[in-house]
Amino acid sequence: MLSVFLLTSSMLLPLQESDVQAPRGRALVFRVDRIETLGGETLENAVVLVREGVIEKMGRAVAIPDRAIVHDLRGSHSVLMPPLV
C-alpha cells in the first residue's frame, strides 16, 4: 500500500496547482489508468473533469467539454486518488 501511495504521490508532483491551471472558464481533464475513490471503488481507464479547481465529474463515461485542456496519463500506470488531490 505504501508503494502505491508513493507512486501516486510522485506522479502527481508534476501536476501541482502552480503547474496545471486552466485559463478561466476552461476545464481540465485527466485521463488516467485508475481512480481509487474514497468509498473504496476502483475505476479503470477513467476520466476526471475539473472546473475552477473543483472535481466536477469522474468516471468511465465523462463527456469532455469543448476547449478542455486534456492531460492523457493513460499507459503510465497512473493512479488518481481524489481525496489526496
pLDDT tens digits, 52-82: 888 899 899 999 999 999 999 898 888 878 7
Higher pLDDT, 74 or 13: 74
Q: What is the pLDDT of residue 25?
A: 76
| Of 53, 64, 56, nearest in space to 23 by CA | 53
User: The domain 2-84 is classified under which CATH number: 2.30.40, 3.60.21, 3.40.50, 3.30.420?
Assistant: 2.30.40
Please state the domain extents for the chain. Answer: 2-84
Q: What is the pLDDT of residue 76?
A: 87
pTM comes to 0.67
Q: Which residues pair with 28 in a beta bridge?
A: 50, 69
| Of 18, 30, 8, nearest in space to 84 by CA | 8
